[in-house]
Amino acid sequence: MSNILRILFQRLALGLFTLFIVSLIIFMGITLLPGDAAEAMLGQSATPDTVAALRVQLGLDLPPHTRYFNWLLGALQGDFGTSVGSGQQISSLIGTRFANTLFLAIFAATIAVPLALILGILAALYRSSVYDRVVNVVTLASISMPEFFISYILILFVSVKAGWLPSLANVQTGVPFLVRLEMTLLPALALTLMSVAHMMRMTRASIINLLANPYIEMATLKGIKKARIITHHALPNAWAPIVNVIVLNLAYLIVGVVVVEVVFVYPGLGQLLVDSVQRRDLPVVQAACLIFAATYILLNLFADIISIVTNPRLLNPK
C-alpha cells in the first residue's frame, strides 16, 4: 500500500511542477505580447506620461520576475487581480463563468461517457459487423466536422426547423435547474457528438487489443460466454487506457468549449476568454489560461490515479 501512496505522491508533485511551468509559460507569453494593460485601459489617445503613471500605479514598471511572483502568490490565494475592462475582481468575474462551463461539461459528459462505453463495448463484441461499421463511420464523421459547423447544423435542424429546443443558451443566474437543462441541451449535444468518437474508438481498441491475450483464449477454452469474457476478463484490464481517453475528453469538454460557447452565446469561461482577448484585457486572459491549465493537469492526474488503483499488480503487491 505504501508503494501506491508513494506513486500517488510522485504524480501529485509532478502535476504541481507542471502547473508551475505552465504558469511561467502563460506569463511569459502574455508579457511578450505587444502593449500592456495600461495602454489598453487608456486607449490610443493617451499620452506617454499618463501611460507611464498608470504603469507605476498598476505595478507594471516592476521587473518581470517580481511581477510574476506577485501574480503567482496572488493566484495561489485566489486573487488574480482586477479586470482592465470592467475594473471588477477577476476572481468573482471568473467564478460564475467557470461554474457555468463546468455545468455544461458535466452535462455533456453524463451523456457522452456512458454512450461511448456502451457503443465501444458493443463494437468490440460485434467486431467487423454492420453495427461496428455504422458506429465507426457515424462517430468518425461527427468528429471530422468542425465544432461550429456541427453547432450550426444542430441549431438549424433542432431549433429553427423543428423548434424543439432554444438555439441560444444565454442562461442567467437564478434560472431553475430544469429550464437550465433545456437551454443547455443543444450545446451539450454538440459537445457529445464531438467527444463520443474518441472515447468509443478507444474503448473498442483497448478491448480488442486485450482479446489477443492468452488469458482471453483461456477463458474461451473454459467455455465462458462471449459477453462475460468482455465484461469480466477484458474490461477490468482495459480501464487504464479507457479512463485516460475519457479524462482527455473531459478536459476537452472544459477547455475546448470556446467555439461552442461562442456559437450558443453561453456565458462560460471560454466566451469570457474570447471577449477578454478582443478587449486586450490581459489579466483576465492570464487567469483564464491558468485555470484551464490547472483543470487539464488535475484531470490527467486523476486519470493516472485511476489507472494506478485499477492495476491489481500495484494494489496487491507480492
Partner 1 sequence: MSSESDPLLLEISDLQVEGFSEDQWHEIVKGVDLTLKRGEVLGLIGESGAGKSTIGMAAMGYAKPGCRIKGGSIKFNGIELTTASEEEKRKLRGSRIAYVAQSAAASFNPAHKIINQFSETVIHHGLGNRKQAYADAKELYRRLKMPEPDQIGFRYPHQVSGGQLQRAMTAMALSCRPDLIIFDEPTTALDVTTQIEVLVTIRDIVRQYNTAAIYISHDLAIVAQMADRIKVLRYGDSVEESATRDMLSNPRENYTKTLWAVRTFKKTVKPPDPQPAALVKVDDITATYPGASLPVLSNVSLEIQRGETVAIVGESGSGKSTLAKVITGLLPQDKGQILYEGVGLSSKYRDRSSYHLQKIQMIYQMADTAMNPRHRVRDILGRPLKFFLNLRGNEKEKRLRELMEMIELDPDKFLDRLPSELSGGEKQRVCIARAIAAQPSFIICDEVTSALDQLVAEGILRLLDRLQQELNLGYMFITHDIATVNAIADKVVVMLQGQVVDQGAKDEVFAPPQHEYTKLLLTSVPEMDPEWMDRVLAERAAKGGMKAAGY
Q: Is residue 51 helix, strand or coil?
A: helix
Q: How many CA atoms lie within 13 A of 172 on its CB side?
A: 1
Tell me how far, at minimum, the Cβ of 316 lies from partner 1, in Å: 5
Shortest separation between residue 230's beta carbon and partner 1, angstroms = 13
The residue among 178 and 212 lying less far from partner 1, judged by its C-beta, is 212
Q: Which cell numbers in the block locate residue 122?
A: 458493443
For binding to partner 1 (CB under 8 A), which residues are involved? 212-215, 217-225, 228, 232-233, 236-237, 312-313, 316-318
Angstrom distance (rounded) from CA 222 to CA 24: 57
DSSP letter string, 257-287: THHHHHHTT--SHHHHHHHHHHTT-HHHHHH
Smallest gap from Cβ 246 to partner 1, in A, equals: 19
User: What cell numbers appear for 156 in the block?
Assistant: 438549424
Shortest Cβ distance from residue 35 to partner 1 (Å)? 50
Burial of 268 (0-12, 13-18, 19+ CB in 10 A): buried
32 or 221, CB closer to partner 1? 221
Compare residues 133 and 228 and give the one whose CB is closer to partner 1.
Answer: 228
Residue 61 vs 217, nearer CB to partner 1: 217
The DSSP secondary structure of 227-247, one letter per residue, reads HHIIIIIIHHHHHHHHHHHHH
Q: Which of 206, 281, 192 is nearest to 243 (CA)?
A: 206
Between 121 and 259, name the residue whose CB sits nearer to partner 1. Answer: 121
**Interior angle at CA 313, CA 14 and CA 219, nearest 5:** 135
DSSP 100: H
CB of 297 to partner 1, least distance (A): 27
Q: How far is the CB of 239 from partner 1 (least distance, A)?
A: 9
| Cβ at position 66, least distance to partner 1 in Å | 41
Which of 18, 307 has the CB closer to partner 1?
A: 307
Cβ proximity to partner 1: between 32 and 212 the closer is 212
The Cα–Cα gap between 67 and 33 comes to 15
To partner 1, the closest distance from the beta carbon of 121 in angstroms equals 16
The C-alpha atoms of residue 120 and residue 201 are separated, in whole angstroms, by 6
Task: Please identify, using beta-carbon distances, which residue of 133 and 225 lies nearer to partner 1.
Answer: 225
Cβ neighbors of 146 (< 8 A, separation 6 or more) are 259
